Structure 1
């Protein structure tokens, strides 16, 4: 009787052993898969990271003047995994506008250039192309590159010049920029540049300035950075920021349509990245990011409707550009497909969450809490800029380092690398 009672128990133990063995195997496969997702962010040299390559199935963007010269040929092909593939774009011009999320965008482009061993046209002295001297971009502002190399990207602050840029970049370069609603962009500019923009320094507060801008801003002023006080985005784009005539604004829009493959919208940053990914034929991993150079959320004031109207009225060109390109942006989203956009946003958020979990400590830190000078963002007087702090185990991970590296250390890193390439 004892033997018979033990046999069923032995059978159950065998079943349990088999079940535990299967569970262990499943867990091991899960760990390997997760490790590929997380550790593939590691790239210790500027060589192409093959582990991040994902099959893309969109067709190349058509170069036409209509619809920004960028038409998606077959949305279903990308979604269903059709065999048609496009070739990733490597020649890129990014018009880096001020206070539009452009530093985060630049970080994405710099990491791509580093990983794929591309050459970035770098400013001679610092992180901008002689911007403070009101000079439009030309090739003499760019660091020399090694013999046999061509410049693939221009992505630093400048005053736009189509002739200057086309003389440096290959003819097939992809042109894009990003705009932000002046109602919030202008307030951010005021806070960030208050101590260096003459019209701002004279005002008691932002509300004081916007209540009567002509009191502080003189149209004939040629003082350094005075252009930030009126239509600053239009100035970055190379246009006369003081000529607000309707005909002039119409001609500006036409010129931008003829120049840029796409104009992105800062308020919809992730959606903009998805559209950019489509245009560049990049992978989802290529556009993953952590925000850099942002103010502490609690210090950003709410701009009410009345104040917004005053800001937009004072910045008429910027407001008209934003209104036009916000409309065309949503047309592109609709053409891309709302459901498809939602699905891709979900994928992007998953990758961003993995990056954040693997690379950085919880929460954002202000400048004074960052002890390593290499990672300190520029912090203007009276502004609390926030940034991430690396986890101990990620301090030697090249991709984690690059994700949070500020703009000037990036310029130094690329300068050193390209001099020895």
Structure 2
């Protein structure tokens, strides 16, 4: 999101923004959730990137006909471990001591219609029933539907390779896809999972697992078409540029309580401890502006974009 925010700002593009921080998630997205949108208005939107439960027909009402659609998936095993850390104090996971405890008592903890984060969360976000049928035919139809709706499906597990494919698809530069990792958890809130628990996660999230397997295969087919050696070279260049900008901008990654600029403190959730960054002192004005935007969290950046949009009116 930070990459898209900065690109849109740099090119004076118009964002389709939610009234809050998300498009009324977990409800299906509808065009009425977009600030300043009107079916009879002439305002053109260029980027829509806030969290939503996807509904193509409604998105198409807001965005131009030549919109490039892309999304990102994550290995359901690591995603579930992360969700438990973020949402353990909410509904589904409330009271569960661990993921092992959750899977030993799913009938106790899992309340289907209220638990989009605890079962097939990616299928849910893409607009499907996360408690839907689990059959080979259903898996195939779901994967084909996503393949048709989206021009590119990225994988967070291979984030740098994903950014290179995105850069190539959009004719962007390395500077356009430059980023500093945000929303990372401190290591002590991460849980190592046994093989048995990993298998339980796959079985529990069969829709998500089949999505991931399908698009993992198609992702590497795209890498093959791009060229493995070319990909290797571009990933290396991207990582070099990221290291350079991090050395210029950052003193280091710190606990939120140790952040010098409290206005850039990331949102905290559950037992997860989300780390922030401190900037190098004495930066040149131009460098300081870029560095600050690179570490601005989603919620604060959204407010900046909303204020910018009001000034343009």
Normalized against structure 2, the TM-score is what? 0.94
Rg larger in structure: 1
Q: Match for 2:293 among 402, 405, 415?
A: 402
Match of 1:110 in 2: 5
What is aligned with 1:119?
A: 14
**Structure 2 residue 226 is the aligned partner of structure 1 residue 331:** no
RMSD over aligned Cα atoms: 1.7
Q: Runs in 1 of length 4+ with deviation above 4 angstroms?
A: 145-149
Q: 1:130 aligns with which of 24, 27, 39?
A: 24
- SS of the equivalent of 2:282 reads helix
Paired with 2:101 and 2:284, the residues of 1 have a C-alpha distance of 45
Give distance in 2, aligned partners of 1:205 and 1:161.
Answer: 33
Whether contact under 8 Å (2:121, 2:208) holds in the other structure is yes
- 1:212 matched to 2:105: yes
1:22 aligns with none
**Pair 1:419-2:310 in alignment:** yes
Q: Which runs of structure 2 are paired with 1:2-401 in the superposition (5 Å)? A: 106-124=1-19, 126-131=20-25, 134-144=26-36, 149-196=43-90, 198-219=91-112, 222-223=113-114, 226-246=115-135, 247-361=137-251, 363-394=252-283, 396=285, 397-401=288-292
The C-alpha deviation readout for 1:362-408, integer Å capped at 9, x for no partner, is: x3101111242321001124221112211112385211111000111
SS, match of residue 192 in structure 2:
coil
Structure 1 residues 119-147: Cα deviation after superposition (integer angstroms, max 9, x where no partner): 111001x210011xx32111111111798
SS of residue paired to 1:214? helix
Alignment check: 8 A CA contact 1:145 1:419 kept: no
Task: Give SS of 2:275's match.
Answer: strand
Question: Quick one: structure 1 residues 175 and 208, their matched pair in 2 at CA, closer, same or farther if it must change by over 3 Å?
Answer: same
| Ranges in structure 1 where 5+ consecutive residues have no aligned partner | 1-105
Q: Distance in 1 between matches of 2:246 and 2:37?
A: 34
Gaps of 5+ in 2: none
